[in-house]
Amino acid sequence: MNIYFFYISLFFYLLSTACYLLFLTMNRNIIEKFGHYSLFSGFCIHFLATLVRYFNAGYTPITNIYESLSFFSLCIAGFFLYLKRIYRIEIIGCIVLPILSVLLIWASTFPAEIRPLPPVLKSYWLPIHTIFSFVGNAIFFISFFISLLYLVVERGIKKKKFPSIATRFPSLETLDLINYRCMSYGFPFLTVGIITGSIWASVAWGSYWSWDPKETWSLVTWIVYAILIHNRLAIGWRGRKTAYMMIIGFFSILITFLGVNFFAGGLHSYI
């Protein structure tokens, strides 16, 4: 049943993607509203799919690539809906929704059957560690595209070569403020995810830290964002510098999340 809900949610995300791409070219509010309600419907059904899978499996469904990509996409959709409500950044849906849909299509290519949980994952730390980590990653995922957009808009302003469509993007001040919010929200989630993972590692493997590839890259990611926050608060980093550091941080997340799983293995190779 959870698979059916998953594909229904994918249908709504794709519908929302089409609407936001049309909104980009036609600039009709009615199209954006249709895209918004499609996104909201997709999010609710996606949440239901995750909930049904949780009850079917008997554990938090973030234990393999299919489940991880699906939950990651759910977090992205939820956080984007939150940002939309606060900052009125409808136009950014034409960036976030296509990528969200691609992530879910990619997830659908991996085995989706519910399998017995490996003994090491049978822990009450599973939902705590994974949910905090994935919510943090989803927030930084959106900040990555906000940062790219910031650099594009800034470059266009400096060169005075600005396509008419780009005038609908948020101002540099708004983009920088969103980046700051992402930093403020994402870093605590990332920190709690690492701490709870360390406690879980102590219980499961007898050591808080084993310098496993995923642990090492998680620490690298945390250091990148810690430097960014420190420099923003201490010496006033803004704008372009924040954008560059957000991009570097997200590449580190990509290595932690996907690169280690596919190429490095280690203690987390069951993901």
Q: How far is CA 229 from CA 78, 131, 156, 237, 242, in A?
A: 24, 23, 27, 9, 9
pLDDT, one tens digit per residue, over 187-200 is 999 999 999 999 98
Tokens of residue 270, six digits: 């069951």
Mean pLDDT per 10-residue run, the chain (271 residues)?
Answer: 90 96 88 95 97 93 92 96 90 93 95 85 89 94 93 84 74 91 93 92 82 86 91 85 91 81 61 53
Q: What pLDDT score was predicted for residue 264?
A: 58
Are the C-beta atoms of residues 56 and 2 closer than 8 Å to each other? yes
